[in-house]
Structure 1
Amino acid sequence: MRVTQGMIQQNSLRYIGSSYAKLDKLQSQVSSGKKISKASDDPIVAMKSLKYNTQLSQVKQYQSNASQAFTWLENTETNITEGIDIMSKVRELAVQAKNNTNGKSELQAIGVEVKQLKEQLLSIANTQVNGRYIFNGTNSDTPPVVDNGDGTYTISDTDDVTVNVTSNLTLKVNSDPKSAFGGTSESGQNVFEMLDSFQKALNSGSLEDMDSVLDNIDQFSDGMSAERSDLGARYNRLELINTRLASQEETATKVLSDNEDVELEEIITEFIAQQSVHRASLAVNAQIVQPTLIDFLK
């Protein structure tokens, strides 16, 4: 087969174009740190990246859910702890009121304190976080405890708030208001009604069966403490789950990096080598491919 000058030129241009394409790919890898810039560069790598990115996104979503669960549990536990502290103060006042040396004015002064503590406990029960009532379950747009104005208080029946923290696990993050504030006494009163009755008795100066009052206070305090313990157990479990999610995120990130990322040292070395080859190719072709007939005749 006769090799013509045109054939040499075409082959030279094709090889130079191929060299430019290699340089462009290597330059893109050096700049981005990634093996591919589009799926057609390596469909297998692209397919794996899609799978690994999906896994990583799921883990990050579960971590975000866990963060919300932590916020809910922490706020709930903090408020129940404050409620327990209030009941402790109420008990101290009840013991003080039980002293027979108190006159009517002293009892009324204690009644004022009990009223303030009752209102503070009501405020705690109707706590809002980010505009949501944390003690009213899924019905978080309305307060869980309503003062009926006649010495009775209505506490809502609620549905649990659950959060997906793994692909096959949901965790309850709220506290039922009736459990959170001690349920009901043997007489059927909730804690707010009991405090209201105690306050009125103090104001009237007619205290009867203070032992029963103290028993009720202890019962409500015990109920709150039990609910706080349950919250603590759920919080501890969530911490374990969050630790596992952090480990899963680290693993997923490494697998994704191994699939997508280039070894910069290798790519830079290859890029420099390809540059040398490209320059040599240009130099040789400048001698082989004569630009004019005169140069060819020389």
Structure 2
Amino acid sequence: MRVTQSMLSNNMLRNLSSSYNKMGVLQEQLNTGKKVNRPSDDPVVVMKSLGYGMTVDKVGQYQKNLGEVNNWLDSSDDALDGVGQVLHRAKELATNAANSGAMTPGDRDKIKIELEQMQKQLQDLANTKVGDKYIFSGTMTDKPLFNGTSYETDAAFGKNVEIEVFDGVNLRVNTDARKMFEEIDVLFERIKTEGEGFDFSGAISIIDRNMDIVLTNRADIGARSNRSELMHNRLEMQEGAAKKQRSENEDIDYEVVITELITSESIHRAALSVGARIIQPSLVDFLR
């Protein structure tokens, strides 16, 4: 087959164009640090990267959910700590009253005044909020447990609130303390209204029982906090693994790409030099 000058010129132009394209791809990879910059570069790599990215995003959402879980648990524990302090002081008052025999009207007035303040403190604690949600109101998080006159009795105020922290894993974040708050409130109200005839010895047993309830609830909150910490560690491990896989899938090896670019430039210059010898000088001048 006869090789014409036109065939030589076309082959050279085609090879030069291919060489330019390859160097352009390598330069873009160096600029972005990515193996692919559009789906057409490598659909398989792009699809894998999307999958890893979705995993990272999902883990990020679960980590945000865990943050909300910890807010609920920490706020619940702080509130119950406040309840415990109120009950401790109430027990001191009841013990003094039970051991002092007959109480003077002045003594009863002092106890009544302090109990009123403790009662209001308990009502405030029962309406503790995280953000705009009441944490002791069960699933009725938009409504306070103490409505200003009494404690809510709807069953929804005792239902559990759960937050998803992993695929198929939910953590209960609320503490059902409705009956405890109501019983203490009723006790304080009786002490204020029954006056001298009130049985303070009986009140001490009621207070002790509710103090045990507070401790039990705080222990339960501590156990859930520990589980939340374990889930946090698990999510960090999964996030790290997904980011590593995504990096291995789409990030370039700079040393390799730089070497390939230098090699491509050398080949490109060699091709230009060879082409200058095999085609007509006028065409070479035109290309320059």
Work out whether the TM-score is over 0.5. Answer: yes
1:277 counterpart letter in structure 2: I
Write the mapping of 1:177-256 to structure 2, written as runs, cut at 5 A. Answer: 177-178=177-178, 181=180, 190-201=183-194, 204=195, 206-256=196-246
SS of residue matched to 1:139: coil
**Structure 2: distance between partners of 1:129 and 1:28:** 48
Taking the TM superposition and a 5 Å limit, the aligned residue runs for 1:1-298 are 1-98=1-98, 99-100=100-101, 103-148=104-149, 153-157=151-155, 158=157, 159-178=159-178, 181=180, 190-201=183-194, 204=195, 206-292=196-282
- Matched with 1:185 is none
Q: Secondary structure at the match of 1:175?
A: coil
Identity %: 37
Contact 2:127 2:146 in 1 (8 A): yes
Counterpart secondary structure, 2:210: helix
| Poorly superposed stretches of 4+, deviation over 4 Å | none
1:136-190 Cα offsets, whole Å, 9 max, x none, are 1221111112343xxx6444432211111111211111111325x36xxxxxx62
Contact (CA 8 Å) 2:80, 2:214: kept in 1 or not?
yes
Are 1:133 and 1:141, in contact at CA under 8 Å, matched by a contact in 2? Answer: yes
Once the two structures are TM-superposed, the CA of residue 100 in structure 1 deviates from its matched residue by 3.4
* AA at the equivalent of 1:233: A
Following TM superposition, by how much is the alpha carbon of 1:207 offset from its aligned partner in structure 2, in angstroms?
4.4
**Alpha-carbon separation, structure 2, partners of 1:49 and 1:106:** 74
Q: Determine if contact 2:95/2:201 at 8 Å carries over to the other structure.
A: no
- Residue 245 of structure 2 aligns with an amino acid whose one-letter code is V
Contact 1:79 1:124 in 2 (8 A): yes
Map Cα deviations across residues 255-288 of structure 1 (whole Å, 9 max, x no partner).
1111111111111121122122222323333343
Q: As a proportion of its length, which structure holds more helix? A: 2
Aligned-residue offset at 1:293: 8.3
Q: Equivalent residue of 1:164, what SS?
A: strand
TM-aligned CA deviation for residue 102 of structure 1: 5.1
Amino acid at match of 1:228: R
The range that moved more, 282-291 or 41-50, is 282-291
Separation in 1 of the partners of 2:107 and 2:273? 107
Which letter does structure 2 place at the counterpart of 1:195? F
Q: How many residues matched?
A: 282
**1:30-67: CA deviations, max 9, x gaps?**
11111111222122212222222222222222222222
Question: Is residue 63–residue 232 contact of structure 2 (8 Å, CA) maintained in 1?
Answer: yes
- Root-mean-square deviation (Å): 2.2
Q: Would you say the 8 A contact 1:26–1:267 is kept in 2?
A: yes
Q: Distance in 1 between matches of 2:163 and 2:271?
A: 63
C-alpha contact 2:146 2:152 (8 A) present in aligned 1: yes
Q: Using structure 2 for the length normalisation, give the TM-score.
A: 0.90
1: distance between equivalents of 2:283 and 2:9? 14
